[in-house]
Amino acid sequence: MDSEKRQRYRTAMVSTYYPDTSFLHHLVMPDGTEQSPGSDILTTLHSGKIFIVNSRKRNGLILFKRYHAEFAGPGAAVGGDYDCDCQRVLSIGNLSLLTPESYEERQKAYLIRRQWIRLIKQITENPIPQQRVQKILDQFEQYFPPEIVANLPDAAFALLVGVLPQTVGLVRRIGNDVNCRLNY
């Protein structure tokens, strides 16, 4: 009898996995414009060369991979083997990419890229989605002007910290109080 119940349960399960579905196909900016997936920056990153996000400017890149996004802030290495799987990019601020001039400069840029990845990892370790969103928004607002952060799409933050874009939108509208009202 137990095995019969388990068998019914298994046949009643429905998969909702669609491998070709991604937030990337619907990356719409808050002003309603859609970002082009075939940007010049993406072509540059796919060239195989290593670049460094200029550390003297408040700029960076959100790199959209198949199932997540990564942030490469000032001083971070981008391109090469790191980003050959990058499907889209979103530049933040007045983007400036430099070419490393020495082995040491390249190594330092790799270390800085790891630091940016670790920062996002620390944020994603929080089990409460709304708190992850609030933390990433706070981090971005500490570094970039609020109007730049406000213009970044919900899907970008969602893919950075592993939540749904609707959760980002909710936290942006309601703020910190959402943690008290909702229990996801």
Reported as a single tens digit per residue, the pLDDT across 96-117 is 999 999 999 999 999 999 999 9
What's the confidence (pLDDT) of residue 24? 47
Which of 177 and 164 is assigned the larger pLDDT?
Answer: 164
pLDDT tens for each residue of 142-173? 999 999 999 999 999 999 999 999 999 999 99
What's the confidence (pLDDT) of residue 87? 95
pLDDT band at 175 (very low <50, low <70, confident <90, very high): confident
What's the confidence (pLDDT) of residue 4? 53
Q: Which residues contact 14 (CB under 8 A, 6 or more apart)?
A: none
Mean pLDDT of 42-53: 95
Q: Nearest Cα to 137, choosing from 110, 163, 118? A: 163
Query: In 7-158, where do the E strands start and end?
Result: 50-53, 60-64, 69-72, 77-79, 88-92, 97-98
Q: Is the pLDDT of residue 33 over 90?
A: no
Mean pLDDT of 69-97: 95
**Across the chain, what does the average pLDDT equal?**
83
Number of C-beta neighbours around residue 158 at 10 A: 23
Q: Which amino acid is at 90?
A: L
Q: Which residue reads 């990337």 in tokens?
A: 24
Q: Give me the residue spans of the domains in the chain.
A: 22-181
Task: Answer yes or no: pTM beyond 0.85.
Answer: no
Sign of CA dihedral 170, 176, 180, 184: positive
φ/ψ region of 156 (left if φ > 0, alpha if ψ in -120 to 50, else beta) reads alpha
Instruction: Identify the three-state secondary structure at position 160.
Output: helix
Which of 75 and 184 is assigned the larger pLDDT?
Answer: 75
Instruction: Identify the three-state secondary structure at position 108.
Output: helix
